[in-house]
Amino acid sequence: MSYIAAESATIRRKDGSTVQLTGPHAQQLYLHRNTQDLSVKWLRLLGGRNEFERSRQQQIVDRLADAERSGRKRVLLIGDSIRMRLRDTTGYGLHTYKYLLDHVNLTHIPHNTGGTTPVLQYLNDWLSCRPEIVHINAGLHDLATAAPDTQPHRCYNTPETYASNLRRIVKLLRNAGVPHVIWGLSTPVHDQWHTTSWLHRLNKDVTLYNQIATQVMAELDVPINDLFQPMLDAGLETCLMRDGVHLTHTGSTLLGRIVADRILTVC
């Protein structure tokens, strides 16, 4: 079993200054404060939002290129914070990796891939691993608005911009030669719980943006993976943390299995 251990990390403050972390401090940063389950992750890191990160992570991509298990497809998950570890729980990504570990070669983006705008900005970086299957989920950042008591009150990406970005993303994936693209619908939010001070989301907007994604992907012949209805069926109070958007262990495990099962249909 091979796995990645972070050796160093650079934190850039808002004022432009930087802090260097090494050893266990860098490792904890990579794992979002929890080293549990590292031994089950056999992942390739890629992506990066500055030249230092891109250079460092490209070295890892190159180093692991010869370590893949032959005969297995290479899989890349693209998704926002519900894919990632957060505080005392996990995103669906780690559970997906656990279920797929013995079936595919796995690729990992360590940071939040956000909405469709940053996906378009960094997609070529992420595709440097030449994945054969890409499962992508982006929408919760697009439909988020400034909190109701602040101005302006607007979505980060309008429905029209969201639809346009989806078409551009699929075009980039196909131009890169990705054989299998799967679109994951956005997960529901708990309207009463999700009252953060700087972002606001409503389930009616999640439904609207999922309808847009479903229509666009049908036009482009991209299969849909429904991550929305299974969480409603299981119960939002069970699947969501008290912030009304991030996943509990139950929600993470549920979506991890759904994503893994959908990926295995094209393996």
**Based on the structure, what is the number of domains in the chain?**
1
Residue 4: inside a domain, yes or no?
A: no
CA distance 223 to 210: 13
- Kindly state whether residue 32 falls inside one of the protein's structural domains: no
pLDDT higher at 7 or 224: 224
| Tens of pLDDT, residues 180-205 | 999 999 999 999 998 765 678 999 99
Indicate if the pLDDT at residue 159 is higher than 60.
yes
| Confidence label for 236 from pLDDT (cuts 50, 70 and 90) | very high
Q: Is residue 2 part of a domain?
A: no
User: In terms of residue numbers, what domain contains 179?
Assistant: 38-264
The answer to the question of residue 242 being in a domain is yes
